[in-house]
Each structure stands twice: as C-alpha cells, then as structure tokens.
Amino acid sequence: MTKTSLDKSKIKFLLLEGIHPSALKVLHDAGYTNVEALSGALEGEELKRKIADVHFVGIRSRTQLTEEVFAAAQKLVAVGCFCIGTNQVNLNAARERGVVVFNAPYSNTRSVAELVLAEAILLLRGVPAKNAAAHRGGWLKSAENAYEIRGKTLGIVGYGSIGTQLSVLAESLGMQVVFHDVATKLPLGNARQAASLDDLLAQADIVTLHVPELPSTHGMMGAREIAAMKPGSILINASRGTVVDIDALASALREGKLLGAAIDVFPVEPKSNKDEFSSPLRGLDNAILTPHIGGSTMEAQANIGLEVAEKLVKYSDNGTTTSAVNFPEVALPAHPGKNRILHVHHNVPGVLSAINLVFAENGINIAGQYLRTDEKVGYVVIDLDVESSALAVEKLSQIPGTIRCRVLF
C-alpha cells in the first residue's frame, strides 16, 4: 500500500538567531518534531554544513543566505525570515532553486513605531546626554535645547507599514507629519507628502527613516542630505544600516549641527551579543545607540514566531505559498485521499503543455490543478491518485525547464 502521509519527523527544521519559542510550538503541534533551534547566527563553512541537511531554515536579520549558501542547501525547500526585512537573503538565488521565502511583514511594525517616538521625545529633551552626565556624576539641570514634541514636524522617509503607523501615533501627540516616498501614498490623518526628500529635510524637526535596504536607499542620508537638515534637528534610523553615512552623521553630531540622533541599525553589526560593537558614534552622548532592537519586544517576537512558523507549516503540509516574498502565490485547499505534486519550473513557453502531455500519455487522471507564475518561475500544483504519483514525479522531473518536482503525501 502506498503511503499517504510522510513521517514528519524526517523533515528537518533549523531555527537560528534565538527565534521565539512560539515558533517551536507551532511546528511541534503540527507534528514537526525534528527541529534544531540555536540562539546565534551561523556563517561561512559552519552555515553551509548545517544547512546542507535541512528542509526548512528559520533566520532573523543576521544570517546571510547567499548564492553560495543556497548552492550548499540541496534539500532546502523554504526559508522563514522571522522579521520584516529580507535583504539578508539572496531572493533570486532562492527562487531559481525553487526555494520559497516567507517573512512577517507586519508583526513588529508597532514595536518599531513606539521606539522611534520614545527616542524622539528623549532626544528633544536632551535626556541621553543628561543621563550620560548623571552616570558620570554630572548634573545638567537646564531647559536649554529641551523641547516638547507637540507642534514639531516629523519627517517620515518611507511611508509604508512602519511609516504610516508612526504617522498616526505622531499626530495623536500633536505633531505635524510630512513624508517622502518613491510611491504616491494616501496620507493618513493630516499628513502631507513632500515634493522630494530635500523638501522634507527642509521642513522636519525630526527625520526618521523607514525604507528597505535597496541599491536606491544605500547612502540616501549622506553628508549632503545631513547638511540639508534643519539646524538643531534630529535624525532617527531604525531601517537598515546602509541607509545613513555614519561618518557624516558623527561629524554633524560633534559639530552641533544636529541636536541628536537615534540609531538602531549599523553598516556592520556584531554577529552575536558576545562580539564587540564598533562605531564612530560611540562616545557621543547626544546619540542613542541601540543594538538592532526596533522589533525586539516580547509581543512582536511571539507574533512573528507564530506567523512565520504557520506559513512554513502550510507550505510543508499542502504547498500553499500565500505571502511568499520571492515566489508565485497560491492558496491551496486540503487534498484528502490524493497525493499532491509540486512542480517548479522556469517560466518559459511549453512547460505547461509538456506537463499535461505526461498525464495524457500515461493515462493519469488529474483531480485538481493550480498554476501561478511570476516573470521567472512557474508553480504548478497537481492532485492525483496516490498510485499514480511516483510515475508522474519521475516523468515530470524530466521535462526541460524543471527546477524542482516533488510530492507531498
């Protein structure tokens, strides 16, 4: 009798970077018990050796999944980024190998927005410098350069999930909001879209960055842009470390051009809590430096654990790719009593007809078929009788253009 269910204990998960235990619970509850969870990131040969043997890997922002790493990950079928950003993953290298990448696009949005607002208030009051002085025995009781947040203009660069959440919270504190985005966005509340980044920089008392890491955002706050900010204004970056020229920022803080800065993300971040943090900003009392913890709250991490683990389970159980970041999205029904074949192929003419020819020529009846494509990849899901699946997989795997073909039981 052909098996209708795979022993889930044979499916290996590797979770890195201290992913919240909520993810483990989801996996265990779904029957996936072969899970190794490590608290740190892996890199180099150690990462390649570990990933060679696993079907699913879970990471946060530190683990770099490069072309070379994917080449070593022969069994890998999906990656879960337990965070928002996916810049640490070579998404094309994954897609070309039929590896689906998921993330949690909204789970830590609120946590980042709250941190940014808190930092804005503290910097406007000069608290970081006063706090640092007090720790050294100083007493800086003064209202000089201390301001309320009410009535100030917040300039949000990148009006996406975090930017818009922040916009609403900032207005509730009596701020005016101006934003800059490459796309035309519907302003929430009384927010206004600036004509350009320079237009925003000329108006904002606080500039906060919420853009993804892209070639176009690399160094977007350089020496010229920092010089274009209002004298005595504040820069906050909780997006990615490549967006700000840190040397230019350090000079602006030292020279008193800016009142302060809060930086959560850095061009080079320590690999673990045991490694030393180096930055030209160290020692500047008017800079709040945080170790990439914008999304690190118990609430956000627990939600992210659930969300991404559920996406991995759905993909493993029935092939659903809804909200994948690099792959055609298909929401699939259950397939009781049938086997399900997942066929990933290059999106070139002729593959689909070749697939259907296999069924016609071999007299295999199709119980259900689903297709989605993007510009590079086609994803066909076929439900069929249990007895026919071995032959079908063998034949479908031989079709030119096939990237990957496997059966779910």
Among all residues, which ones are annotated catalytic? 240, 269, 292
Query: Which residue is listed with tokens 């430096």?
Result: 289
Q: Which residue is nearest to ligand NAD, using beta carbons?
A: 160
Residues 256-285 contacting ligand NAD, CB under 6 A: 264-265
Q: Return the range that interacts with ligand 2HG (CB under 6 A); candidates 77-85, 213-221, 275-283, 387-395.
A: 77-85
Neighbours of 85 (CB within 10 A): 17
Q: Return the range that interacts with ligand 2HG (CB under 6 A); candidates 78-86, 222-230, 314-322, 332-340.
A: 78-86
Residue 101 burial class via C-beta count within 10 angstroms: exposed 0-12, middle 13-18, buried 19 and up? buried
Question: How distant, in Å, are the alpha carbons of 93, 140, 219, 223, 281 from that of 256?
Answer: 45, 17, 21, 14, 14
3-state SS, residue 409:
coil
Residues 51-110 contacting ligand NAD, CB under 6 A: 84-85, 108-109
Q: Alpha-carbon distance 322 to 136, whole Å?
A: 53
- Judged by CB under 6 A, the residue of 15, 41, 54, 84 near ligand 2HG is 84
3-state SS, residue 137:
coil
Instruction: Give the nearer residue to ligand NAD in terms of CB position, either 233 or 239.
Output: 239
Binding track over 293-332 against ligand 2HG, x by CB under 6 A: --x-------------------------------------
Instruction: Give the nearer residue to ligand NAD in terms of CB position, either 264 or 383.
Output: 264
Q: Return the range that interacts with ligand NAD (CB under 6 A); candidates 125-133, 292-300, 314-322, 338-346.
A: 292-300
Instruction: Give the nearer residue to ligand 2HG in terms of CB position, either 85 or 401.
Output: 85
Question: How distant, in Å, are the alpha carbons of 11, 67, 104, 198 from that of 343?
Answer: 19, 22, 25, 48
Number of helices followed by number of strands (H, E) in the chain: 13, 16
Q: Alpha-carbon distance 328 to 335, whole Å?
A: 20
Q: Position 171: which residue type? A: E
Q: Alpha-carbon distance 144 to 407, whole Å?
A: 69
Instruction: Give the nearer residue to ligand 2HG in terms of CB position, either 221 or 265.
Output: 265
Q: Is the separation of the CB atoms in 217 and 229 below 8 Å? A: no
Query: Which residue is listed with tokens 């673990």?
Result: 272
Instruction: Give the nearer residue to ligand NAD in terms of CB position, either 182 or 195.
Output: 182
Q: Return the range that interacts with ligand 2HG (CB under 6 A); candidates 39-47, 50-58, 81-89, 188-196.
A: 81-89
Q: Report CA 245 to chain centroid distance, whole Å.
A: 22
Residues present in the chain in total: 409
- Nearest alpha-carbon partner for 79 in 127, 19, 135, 10: 19
158 binds ligand 2HG (CB under 6 A): no
- Judged by CB under 6 A, the residue of 69, 83, 123, 220 near ligand 2HG is 83
- Judged by CB under 6 A, the residue of 85, 160, 187, 219 near ligand 2HG is 85
Residues of this chain that interact with ligand NAD (CB under 6 A) are 84-85, 108-109, 112, 157-163, 180-183, 210-214, 216-217, 238-240, 264-265, 292, 294-295
Residues of this chain that interact with ligand 2HG (CB under 6 A) are 60-61, 83-85, 108, 295
